[in-house]
Amino acid sequence: MRGTSKAVLVLFLLLVPFSMALGALLVVALQRGLVPDDAALVVPAEPVRGPDAPRPSRPLEPAVVAPRGDLSEAEQTTVEIFRNAAPSVVFITKLAVRFDPLRRNALTVPEGTGSGFLWDAEGHVVTNFHVVAGADGARVTLSDQSVWPAELVGAFPDKDVAVLKITAKDIALQALPVGESADLEVGQSVFAIGNPFGLDHTLSTGVISGVGREITSISGRPIQGVIQTDAAINPGNSGGPLLDSAGRLIGVNTAIYSPSGASAGVGFAVPVDAVARVVPQLIATGRVERPGLGIQIDEGQLARRLGVRGAVVLGVVPGSGAARAGLRPMVRDARSGRVMMGDVIVAVDGQDIDSTNDLYRAIDRRQIGDTATVRVLREGSVTELQVELTPLP
């Protein structure tokens, strides 16, 4: 280490006289004009500053904005649809009552969110049943961000439809125009408005990618004629409206098909034709009268165990169309204790019945008071009966 230090010191002592001599020669050369003044020293145009040193202000040149021009016709249509429909779309907060053991009182807390829309100017709000199922209460937030308590008017789980009611004072409520879904075509433009992930009034666009689909409701019964769309539908969109290019309601967004739970380009909406049949009944009476044969049927376990194709009649409601037509239920022989097989429905109006869902589909297309031709398997032979459809209890 001492040898290295001595070597560095000797080198420094040698360089000092050399540097002084070089500086002296440069001064002499400048005095005699041997070196041009502008080439003698390179001096930076601006002094070197640290990163935090203030810099001299310079006038900023604004960015040049290119003219946009008019919106395209398609864009104008989309903007107009959203502008007209957004005031009718609401944000729904599902509430639950929870007991606080520390404070020894009950608290109302948010438990979920969804979307909905105004059905009329009286404050009736339509949404999905699964949005409010099991709720102890609900709040509705309008487009002006005012929040109103809502009460449940009625629900129909078989179609995943529920109706709420708010009393919004001094606010003009705007209902959505109602369209129809029977004549929809694949490829039509559609527009979904809702509150996905709690994001207020979100618009997504797409096309009808399928019609006549079928999904299973929360009650386990099939919902027929469902609209399939590739418009992005995410959690929170449930209960929101699906609109056509005229801004009319054609469906209620209800479900997505996605392993991740987010939009994968396959969304489903309950058709407005089904909604329009249900909502007025819920508003008027709080319930929906459905057509039925007036029977109790096996949900599939017994039929599978017996290897029977069709809907097994377990019971007949007294006074119903089935009772008047003479349908026979399953009974137990009083003497032997054996269970005697009753009628098995194998067709309705010419449509084969292989399961209980097939029977639901056939009956849901009919109205109360209609007469259905019911073909049954009875004691090894086929019999046809004319059954008047009556309201289900």
Tokens of 368: 């109360």
Q: Which of these is catalytic: 88, 124, 130, 320?
A: 130
Cα 146 to Cα 152: distance, rounded to the nearest angstrom: 19
List, in order, residues 6 or more apart from 155 with CB less than 8 Å away: 129, 132, 133, 161, 162, 163, 282
CA distances from residue 324 to 236, 246, 384 in whole angstroms, order as listed: 47, 48, 14
201 is catalytic: no
Cα 151 to Cα 159: distance, rounded to the nearest angstrom: 20
Which long-range CB contacts under 8 A does 373-376 form with residues at least 24 apart? 373/348, 373/349, 374/293, 374/325, 374/327, 374/345, 374/347, 374/348, 375/345, 375/346, 375/347, 375/348, 376/313, 376/327, 376/343, 376/344, 376/345, 376/346
Tokens of 364: 């849901």
Residue 143 phi/psi, 5-degree rounding, is -65, -20
E strands present in 101-240 = 105-118, 124-127, 137-141, 147-156, 161-166, 189-194, 202-216, 222-229
- The label of the residue with tokens 């990618």 reads 209
181 is catalytic: no
Q: Which of these is catalytic: 115, 181, 204, 238?
A: 238
238 is catalytic: yes
Q: Which of these is catalytic: 88, 115, 124, 160?
A: 160
Amino acid symbol at 376: V
Amino acid symbol at 254: T
The CA-based dihedral angle spanning residues 377, 359, 213, 180, taken in that order and rounded to the nearest 10 degrees: 130
Cα 350 to Cα 348: distance, rounded to the nearest angstrom: 5
Residues assigned a catalytic role: 130, 160, 238
